[in-house]
A and B are shown apart, each in its own frame.
Chain A
């Protein structure tokens, strides 16, 4: 059992310290950097909170979409899309489109959750 507070708690506390205590004391030319620090901590916090399950689920679906060695699945999908093999009217078009939406949405949940509305 690791010592508490855990990473999530520490990151959230550090982010609050940057925004509430450090930022107001900084000259304007350093404020942008402090905001970036807070943004980076927020991002790391969301990544920690999200865990690994969603990535595993996406990877499992990807395995069913394309045939390639595990480390080259994404590369294979990208190549097949470029070749037009998942254009509208092809058998896997809808399935690939749905996978891509989830792939983008789940990454945006961490990188830019506000963009998802």
Chain B
């Protein structure tokens, strides 16, 4: 990281020629994106920021940093609790890759702590109600939006598009998975009719939400956001596979589903939730299998990726029960 070039660019972007970088440390996590803790003195006052950029030599598999900046800006404008997006640098010549800077938020996102530590989130039912409100604000963002033009046109039928996308991914992976096919076929037979599209976060789950003692500190990880059926996010958040062992707490392993949906407040078609929860379970199984494939290919030798692949049989066991009950 060329710190002098970064300082020069930040000084210009912030309008403070005297801006000083006091600390720049790589944060852990993020195989695709890199996050850096960036402390500066701006106008004589200490500021705590995060610089987010792509990891070197990573193929584009999700939104670019400029696109993510636009999503964060749209979310913030809609009242979603996100880190304030501050500066975007689309110019690769400054640090070698595009980057953006956002406010640094303090809190806990680690899923096993979030589901077990009742001091987080301002009370369990209150926390999931607040998360429901966050999701409703995200879903209030509707197409067309010139600033989000990179998301493309909304799918004519989000449910069928989701099935097709998972089938393409299974085909690309090349390992036949008849149980997941069974689940996808059940979904296809019972696909709900399309609804007017909204902005879906597409990874709104425990682990991607930062909590503090008071409540929700930030909704993170916007790289998969796109137009779709709002029930996709509700189903992803409530799916059993994202409860991190606290199965009885149906809203993300944190609290009751009723409180989450009450907080959400927008009309919910309860009949669609089992459909999207099954889709969520299959989607996670496909992702888990892909993660193990990365390990098996030798591309990234990792015990964590290897063990993630062993989640697939359990997910498949759930898929069969859910397909039966659909």
Contact = CB atoms under 8 A, between A and B. Distances in A.
B224 interface: no
Interface string A19-53: 00000000000000100110110010000000000
B240 to A, nearest CB: 10
Given A37-B303, A78-B176, A111 B310 contact: yes
A87 B188 CA distance: 11
B306 interface: yes
A43 B181 CA distance: 26
Interface in A72-98: 74-75, 77-79, 81-82, 84, 86-87, 96-97
Measured as residues with beta carbon below 8 angstroms from the partner, the interface class of chain A is 20 to 34
Given A104-B313, A107-B312, 6 more contacts: A36-B303, A43-B307, A78-B177, A81-B182, A100-B179, A111-B310
A113 B34 CA distance: 36
Contact of A81 (B185, B313, B318, B319): B185
Interface size class of B (residues with CB under 8 A): 20 to 34
Contacts, number: 75
A81 B316 CA distance: 15
A44 to B, nearest CB: 11
B304 interface: yes
A1 B319 CA distance: 43
B312 to A, nearest CB: 7
A40 B304 CA distance: 10
Interface of A: 33, 36-37, 39-40, 43, 74-75, 77-79, 81-82, 84, 86-87, 96-97, 100-101, 103-105, 107-108, 110-112, 115-116
A46 to B, nearest CB: 10
B181 A82 contact: yes
Given A77-B176, A107-B313, A108-B313, A87 B320 contact: no
A78 B181 contact: yes
B184 to A, nearest CB: 7
Contacts of B312: 107, 111
Nearest to B184: A82
Contacts of A115: 313-314, 317-318
B178 interface: yes
Interface in B293-326: 303-304, 306-307, 310-314, 316-320
B177 A112 contact: no
B167 interface: yes
Given A82-B185, A100-B182, A108 B317 contact: yes
B189 A104 contact: no
A116 B317 contact: yes
Contacts of A33: 303
Interface string B268-303: 000000000000000000000000000000000001
B311 A112 contact: yes
Most buried by B among A77, A96, A101, A111: A111
